[in-house]
């Protein structure tokens, strides 16, 4: 069987850029907070400008973790061209390399310090472990039920720990948008990269 076509080197960097741009462009986190405040009458969350900015910053980081975790799931499972053979998912060694390069690109994109980058990687690993453990409940969640997902639990606590269940339901709606965005961007990046002609070496 012909070996899988090696993933283009710039795919992780392109993915990091588009995930960051997409999150900012779609304003998923500001809309999530604004709608929660209006629907539940929690206007006190937006009274102090500095605290509100800190809240958005913390939730934006959680959103980046959720986007990254979902993007990696899609990238690992996306059928990739393999010459004349049937498209197949990414090989394990390629997945390890892709993950490392994506995290490096995100670190550069966000201008994180070494400590910030390590904290993000640690939290991402926690996300991945919890998602793997809760895989079955994620697939069969009922409509209007809070998702069993680290983004939902962590974001709800940060947003409004006094009304945790309401915050969890609102965070679940934001999660749906984040995962759809991650899947759309990741699929597009991978297939666009493979569609580009390979430059011949002189």
| pLDDT (tens digit per residue) in 165-174 | 999 999 999 9
pLDDT of residue 1: 46
Q: At residue 4, does pLDDT exceed 70?
A: no
- DSSP E strands in 114-188: the ranges are none
Give 36 or 134, the one with higher predicted confidence: 36
Q: How far apart are CA 7 and CA 17, in angstroms?
A: 17
Banded pLDDT at 194 (limits 50, 70, 90): low
Q: At residue 9, does pLDDT exceed 60?
A: no
pLDDT of residue 3: 52
Average pLDDT over residues 142-168: 89
Residue 188: HSE in the Cβ half-sphere, 13 Å Cα cutoff: 13
**8 A C-beta contact, residue 11 and residue 134:** no
- DSSP E strands in the chain: the ranges are 80-82, 85-88
The percentage of residues in the chain with a pLDDT greater than 90, rounded to a whole number, is: 71
Those residues whose C-beta lies under 8 Å from the C-beta of residue 116, and which sit 6 or more positions away, are: 107, 110
Selection from 3, 4, 6, 2 nearest residue 193 by Cα: 6
Q: How far apart are CA 72 and CA 16, in angstroms?
A: 11
Average pLDDT over residues 74-95: 75
On average, the pLDDT of the chain sits at: 87
Q: Write out pLDDT tens, residues 107-126.
A: 999 999 999 999 999 999 99
Question: Residue for token digits 């895989």?
Answer: 135
pLDDT of residue 100: 96
């Amino acid at each position: 069987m012909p070996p899988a076509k090696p993933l283009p080197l710039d795919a992780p960097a392109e993915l990091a850029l588009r995930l960051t741009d997409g999150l900012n462009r779609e304003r998923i986190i500001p809309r999530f907070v604004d709608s929660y405040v209006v629907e539940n009458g929690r206007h006190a969350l937006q009274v102090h400008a500095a605290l509100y900015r800190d809240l958005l910053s913390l939730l934006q980081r959680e959103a980046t973790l959720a986007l990254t975790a979902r993007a990696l799931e899609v990238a690992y499972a996306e059928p990739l061209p393999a010459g004349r053979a049937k498209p197949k998912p990414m090989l394990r060694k390629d997945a390890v390399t892709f993950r490392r390069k994506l995290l490096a690109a995100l670190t550069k994109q966000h201008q994180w310090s070494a400590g910030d980058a390590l904290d993000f990687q640690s939290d991402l690993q926690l996300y991945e472990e919890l998602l793997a453990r809760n895989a079955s409940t994620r697939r069969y969640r009922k409509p209007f039920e809070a998702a069993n997902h680290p983004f939902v639990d962590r974001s709800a606590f940060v947003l409004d720990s006094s009304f945790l269940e309401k915050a969890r339901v609102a965070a679940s709606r934001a999660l749906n948008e984040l995962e759809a965005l991650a899947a759309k961007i990741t699929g597009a990046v991978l297939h666009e990269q493979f569609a580009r002609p390979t430059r011949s070496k002189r």
